[in-house]
Amino acid sequence: MVHHHRASLLLQHNNQQQQLRKQVDEEQQAEEQEGAGKTMKELRCRIVDYACHHRKKHGHDALLLMLGGFAFFSCLLLLLPSSPFSAAMDELLQLGRNNRCDQEQARSDPPCAAVADGTVCCDRTAERTDVCVMRGDIRTQAKSNSLFLLRPANSSSSGRAADERIRPYTRKWESSIMSTIDELRLRTVSEDSSSSVPTPARCDVQHEVPAVVFSTGGYTGNVYHEFNDGIIPLYITARRYNKKVVFVMLEYHDWWMTKYGHIVEQLSDYPPVDFSGDNRTHCFREAVVGLRIHDELAIDASRMMPPGSIADFRQMLDDAHRGRVQVIIDEEAEAAKNSSSSNSKTKKPADDEDEDKPRLVIVSRNGSRAIENEAELARAAAGAGFRVELLQPRPDTELAQMYRVLNGSDVMVGVHGAAMTHFLFMRPGSVFIQVVPLGTDWAAENYYGEPARRLGLRYMPYKILPAESSLYRRYPRNDPVLTDPVAVNAKGWQVTKKVYLDGQNVRLDMPRFRRRLREAYAHWAAQRRRQHSKPL
């Protein structure tokens, strides 16, 4: 119900916006006939831009007020084109120009973008994360979970000693998970001040580059959260340093570095610091504590400095895994060579016709949300003209191996869940078919569908019908679980998780699903024709 209500409001706002533009256009024509077209046109643009900007925040009431105000000023300009009102209008337009410049400057300079030496600035304005920036003589102290900013005894810096607290993880609205994240104290003290916790007297390790401090705790272990809450925010935060940065990790995990070490090496030229496990005093001149995050599996290019996008992130993933993927290929070739030389029966060469077919990868799930007729799906995909590969990721599956398989695929098929995060490994222009179980429409679209489109994939959701769900065999036909998932989801996350995420498998209606396979094949064929038609 909530999502339907939001959709109707959006449609209503769009209709009002169209009416506003139509009326403004009509009044502009009238003004041009009276000789005041230039001024009116600029005002029209200003008001429409303002309406667009504030539509989401203020709703239809603000639009009606602005429309009324516009009509009033239109009459003034029509009747008194050379009156003092015209001069006032010019001032209003100039004010709009100045405000727009100020807004653009604000967008490019987030809070704490400029921090004076010897100070700490904390940006707590975002819903998802807090970020603090420190500059000066910064020293770590693991035993007290502190970062100290020391001011000289004769420092002229104003203000009292600061004591900020921060949990450097990107889900600050979730109190339950944030309570598991280690809290850091950021203490600004004078060198001659007395403190219950003595400040580090000397530096054991002096770093010449800044630090970025973050936690690898929280939901770490779930690939979606590892990328959404960690890897992508780390890229957003650290890219500006061009690898001249040290990563200081709270709740350090060796397995995390084993899994993501190739990516970390693309973002930093220096070994990371295990904050809790390293009792040495590390000293920096600058530290960013916490990571910036934009949206679900997304990068907002307008907020990046220097400029960057999700396509640049995807290129970074390519660079990170290229070397290891080549090693895997060489090892397999060597193993195949040794196997063929010791075997009397040589492997039959691959059929050239099969090699020319597009490659479709089925990401298999065990347990909940599994495809019960997966073998039938594989046969249908082969019948549609694909080379089919079944990918069954395990917790210990090497990330480079996953990257190799999906980067070389043309189509990925899988049921909504964390493993769909691997669409990030696909080449732009590839096809992503997400099977959407009952009750997961919103999450499937927002967490994977829209991000996949931003990456340049051809996203094809397949929303199952009630008869394709295992819930169809457990509930009466008129039960809200089958007929009204929105109402069931409104009961809370725990209900959604129990009913739709943990308690549901799918059995695809193959005649219906084959339409998606045909669409995917047609997309691949069209892409191929375009590539072949390009001049050399």
pLDDT at residue 181 tops 80: yes
- pLDDT band, very low/low/confident/very high, at 11 (cuts 50, 70, 90): very low
Q: Which residue has the higher pLDDT, 18 or 354?
A: 354
Instruction: For strands 205-206 and 431-436, give the pairing.
Output: unpaired
Q: What pLDDT score was predicted for residue 367?
A: 86
Cβ atoms of 282 and 273 closer than 8 Å: yes
Q: How confident is the model at residue 311 (pLDDT cuts 50, 70, 90)?
A: very high
Mean pLDDT estimate for the chain: 82
**What is the chain's alpha carbon radius of gyration, rounded to the nearest angstrom?**
29
Give residue 27's pLDDT: 47
First to last CA, the chain: 54
Q: Would you tell me how many other CB atoms lie within 10 Å of the CB of residue 439?
A: 24
Sorted by sequence, the CB contacts under 8 Å of residue 276 that are 6+ apart come out as 142, 145, 182, 250, 251, 252
pLDDT digits (tens, 9 = 90+) for 392-442: 988 788 999 999 999 999 999 999 999 999 999 999 999 999 999 999 999
The C-alpha atoms of residue 73 and residue 149 are separated, in whole angstroms, by 55
Are 257 and 399 within 8 A, CB to CB? no
What the block records as the tokens of 486 is: 């929105």
Q: Average pLDDT for residues 503-511, to the nearest whole number?
A: 97
CB 317 within 8 A of CB 403: yes
Query: What's the pLDDT score for residue 291?
Result: 97
Domains of the chain, start order:
119-153+160-293 (no CATH), 359-533 (3.40.50)
pLDDT attached to residue 305: 84
Q: How large a percentage of the chain has pLDDT more than 90?
A: 65
**How many CA atoms lie less than 13 Å away from 430 in the CB half-sphere?**
24
Q: Taking the alpha carbons of 169, 302, 126, 160 in that order, is the dihedral positive or negative? A: positive
What's the confidence (pLDDT) of residue 53?
44
Q: Above 90 in pLDDT, residue 19?
A: no
Q: What's the pLDDT at 100?
A: 43
Whole-number Å distance between alpha carbons of 507 and 353: 31
Predicted model pTM: 0.77
List the one residue out of 518, 517, 479, 521 whose CA is nearest residue 500. Answer: 479
- Whether the pLDDT of residue 52 is over 70: the answer is no
| Closest to 267 in 3D by CA, of 257, 276, 279 | 257
Q: What share of the chain is helix, strand, coil (3-state, %, to 5)?
A: 50, 15, 35
Q: Please answer whether residues 312 and 235 qualify as being in contact, where contact means their C-beta atoms are separated by less than 8 angstroms.
A: no
pLDDT at residue 464 tops 60: yes
Question: Poorest-confidence range of 277-286, 307-316, 342-351?
Answer: 342-351
Predicted pLDDT at 393: 84
Indicate whether 110 pLDDT > 80: no
| Rounded average pLDDT over 297-314 | 93
* Of residues 335 and 68, more confidently modeled: 335
For residues 377 and 281, give the distance between their C-alpha atoms in angstroms, rounded to a whole number: 57
Gap between the Cα atoms of 18 and 498, Å rounded? 43
Strands, DSSP E only, in 160-243?
163-166, 184-190, 205-206, 211-215
| C-beta atoms surrounding 274 within 10 Å | 17
**Over 70: is that where the pLDDT of 122 sits?**
yes
Q: Identify the band that residue 18 occupies on the pLDDT scale cut at 50, 70 and 90.
A: low
| Average pLDDT over every residue of 319-336 | 91
In this structure, what token pair is assigned to residue 19? Answer: 């009416």
**pLDDT given at position 534:** 76
**pLDDT level of residue 277 (50, 70, 90 thresholds):** very high
For 430, counting Cβ atoms within 10 Å of its Cβ (0-12 exposed, 13-18 middle, 19+ buried), the class is: buried
